[in-house]
Amino acid sequence: MATLDPLTMKDWQIAEAAEEQMRPLDQLAEQLGLAPGELLPYGEKLAKLDYAKIMHRLHDAPNGRYIDVTAITPTPLGEGKTTTTIGLVQGLGRLGKRVVGCIRQPSGGPTFNIKGSAAGGGLSQCIPMGPFSIRLTGDIDSVTNANNLAMVALTARMQHERNYDDDRLARLGLRRLNINPDNVQLKWAIDFCAQALRHITIGKGGKMDGVEMESGAQISVSSEVMAILAVSTSLADLRRRMAKIIVAYDKNGNSVTTADLEVDGAMTAWMVDAVNPNLVQTLEGQPIFVHAGPFANISIGQSSVIADVLAAKLSDYVVTESGFGADIGYEKFWNLKCRLSGLKPHAVVIVATIRALKMHGGGPAVKPGALLPQVYKTENLELLEKGCENLIAHIEIVQKSGVRPIVCLNAFHTDSPAELALVRKIAEQHGAEAALSDHWLRGGAGAIELAEKVLDVTRQEPHFRYLYDLQMPVKERIERLAATIYGAKGVTYTDKALAKIRSIDADPNLRGLGICMAKTHLSLSHDPDWKGRPTGWELPIQDVMVYGGAGYVVPIAGDIKLMPGTGSNPAYRRIDVDVNTGKIQGLF
């Protein structure tokens, strides 16, 4: 590792150099204690794990200690949550611990847009970076195709019902579903940031070209199929959930599901291979499970339940990551994912950076692609202390779950000793542990203090508790989230949202679904411009979606998009391929 210098090399250059010394797959299999046939190679550098075989063998094995990595409210640049997750895995590995990391598969949207890949960075990243960042073993392609097959089934059925009488439908073994073209819930899926596809009209032409109606596309990782991959506990569970996806409503207001369209089995056929987690490795050779990739601002924001459960059986320590800040990612981990997996966290790491805290203290806007303002590179204790109100809010969120948080100060070379000391002091004053980590610069060696803090905290059993009971009315649970997690003084609802909430509470098939809030990740509130710890505001619920297969209700807070947009200086302008080696270059 001495030859890999993150100060002079780009992430893709580090990854390319490190890949020359990657651990062979059979060594990773031996490290994990896999039996013959449990590793499913995809070429020389990637593999899947046969979940069913491994769990059948290790069903009664004890679970390892469970650590979640979350963050404060980030800047648009991100604060290094994945880098910290990988750094912590490397640090625990340096301390001789059997450890596995669990992260999400990156979406093509951010990879080719502004944010870039999600492989970590510096000397704390996973490899092979190119395949990890682009396609991997095809899981997102499977999600996209399964989703779009449901849309094909829907639109074909609508056309045939328009063109055929009841007798002809009956001869085909079909009943008339009377789908309302103005009340279609599902969208097409594409895994890019394609704002031009948010609102489209389909079915234009003649009677054989479909039913003309308003439609649209969402990014694949926000689709319910991706959410189902993340929350399923087995292939059988995935198959059961696939049948419950609400595609549309009929003209009487009754739901039309994938099972009604008789497409649920075929959709599952696309997902048979995708149900098995993918295996990559850190720069230092620890195993990383990559599985599912739902966004956290518009979906559940977690790697899969299957990956975490598998990792818990195969290691003594599992480090998993939740998307964005504790108000979004950790809250969904806590109240949704942990219910499904049966696992409870022994420690929670909150990643914080000096630059983000200064922004929350009133610093100038941080914009991707723009030079970082000088205030973020020079000492300013007053701005920093004010911004720590955001950190305190996230500490309190984690504490509400009964788990003691560890604040990881993800260090940058521009941070002054006085600034780092101030954040550590404030974190400890509010009941959190604190650790400095420069894993980006030094890999596992830079994460030793963080790893030791995690080991200390995980020696104690947490007093883990959920925020709400699933039988509480939907409105009460939304208002509890708004008040106790986001800090809102109240909640407002559109008439459409209230009508849907009443319908959900009255339906015995939907009562008891979890709450998966869709809101901005750039603020504790619904407004991305409100930084720090906003007070005196109300959370506006514009609409409510039902993800019947995934098993949760999705309230839409503020102006949140299911399809992000591509910026003016996207990453794809710099990504290319070395035609002599076939290696992907320019990823970041």
Please check the confidence at residue 115 and state whether its pLDDT lies above 90: no
Per-residue pLDDT, averaged over 276-305, amounts to: 95
Q: Indicate the pairing of strand 317-321 with strand 278-282.
A: unpaired
Please check the confidence at residue 117 and state whether its pLDDT lies above 80: no
**Facing residues of 436 across strands?**
409
What is the topology classification, in CATH, of domain 474-557? Formyltetrahydrofolate synthetase; domain 3 (3.10.410)
Q: What is the pLDDT of residues 470-520, one digit of tens each?
A: 999 999 999 999 999 999 999 999 999 999 999 999 999 898 999 999 999
Per-residue pLDDT, averaged over 366-384, amounts to: 91
**C-alpha span between 229 and 271 (Å, rounded):** 8
Q: Which one, of 291, 176, 306, lies nearest residue 235 by Cα?
A: 306
pLDDT at 266: 98
Please check the confidence at residue 21 and state whether its pLDDT lies above 50: yes
Residue 277: burial class (beta carbons within 10 Å; 0-12, 13-18, 19+): buried
> Where do the domains of the chain lie?
11-134+274-458, 139-264, 474-557
Judge whether 583 and 566 are in contact, CB under 8 Å.
no
Q: What is the pLDDT of residues 60-96, one digit of tens each?
A: 999 999 999 999 999 988 899 999 999 999 999 999 9
Residue 439: burial class (beta carbons within 10 Å; 0-12, 13-18, 19+): buried
Q: What is the pLDDT of residues 251-284, one digit of tens each?
A: 999 999 999 999 999 999 999 999 999 999 999 9
Q: What is the pLDDT of residues 422-472, one digit of tens each?
A: 999 999 999 999 999 999 999 999 999 999 999 999 999 889 999 999 999
Q: Which one, of 367, 438, 376, 440, lies nearest residue 77 by Cα?
A: 367
Per-residue pLDDT, averaged over 206-225, amounts to: 95
Q: What is the pLDDT of residues 193-205, one digit of tens each?
A: 999 999 999 999 9
Whole-number CA gyration radius for the chain: 24
The residues carrying an active-site annotation are 81, 83, 104, 115, 296, 324, 412, 440
pLDDT at 1: 44
**C-alpha span between 522 and 78 (Å, rounded):** 10
CATH code linked to domain 11-134+274-458: 3.40.50.300
Please check the confidence at residue 370 and state whether its pLDDT lies above 90: no
Per-residue pLDDT, averaged over 350-363, amounts to: 97
pLDDT at 118: 80
**C-alpha span between 544 and 502 (Å, rounded):** 11
448-458 and 81-94 are packed helices; what angle lies between their axes, rounded to 10 degrees? 80
Per-residue pLDDT, averaged over 405-416, amounts to: 95
Ramachandran angles phi, psi of 86, nearest 5°: -70, -40
> What string of H, E and C letters represents the secondary structure of 304-373?
CHHHHHHHHHHCCEEEEEECCCHHHHHHHHHHHHHHHHCCCCCEEEEEECHHHHHHHCCCCCCCCCCCCC
Residue 400: CB partners within 8 Å, gap ≥ 6?
A: 467, 484, 485
Specify the amino acid at residue 126: C
Collapsing DSSP to helix, strand or coil, 553 comes out as strand
The residue that leads in pLDDT, 131 or 237, is 237
Using omega within 30 degrees of 0 as the cis cutoff, is the peptide bond preceding 106 cis? no
Domain 139-264 has CATH 1.10.3720.10: no
pTM of the entire predicted model: 0.95
